[in-house]
Amino acid sequence: MQIPRGSGGPGAAGALLTVCPLPDRPGVRAAGEITLSTRTTWEAALERLAGHGHEVFHVELSAVTFVDVAGASVLAVTAQNLGAGRRIVVDRPPVTLRRLLELFWPGLPALEVVT
C-alpha cells in the first residue's frame, strides 16, 4: 500500500509510505515516512494487525526515515487498546520514534521497542 505525494522533506507533501506483510511472522514492514499525509495508510495497517487477534505482532521499521508525533500517537493508542496479554514489538524504529515514545508514552506495557 503506497500513498505518494509531491516533493519535500520530512512531513512535507512529498511523503511516501509503503506497508507490506512480514513473510515469517504476524506483522508488517513499513518503509518511508509516517507523517500527516501518510497517516491514513499507517492507521489502516495497525488496525488490520490489531484486528487479527495475534497475541504478539511485529512492526518492522528499519526503512522508515521519519515519524511525526501523530504517527507515534497512532502506534501508542493501538498498543493501549490491544487488551490484556497482547503487545506490539517495534523492530528497529527510527530515532525520532524512539524519542517520542520515551517522552510521551514511557513504559507502555503493550509496546516493546527492539533496536
- Contacts for 2-10: CB closer than 8 Å, 24+ residues apart: 2/41, 3/37, 3/38, 3/40, 3/41, 5/37, 10/35, 10/65, 10/66, 10/68
Q: Using an 8 Å Cβ cutoff, are 88 and 79 in contact?
A: yes
pLDDT in tens, 92-105: 999 999 999 999 99
Q: What is the pLDDT of residue 14?
A: 64
Cell numbers of 37, please?
499525509
Place 17 in a pLDDT band, splitting at 50, 70 and 90. Answer: very high
> Could you tell me the pTM of the whole model?
0.85
Strands 17-21 and 27-34: antiparallel
Domains of the chain: 17-114 (3.30.750.24)
pLDDT in tens, 18-76: 999 999 999 999 999 999 999 999 999 999 999 998 999 999 999 999 999 999 999 99
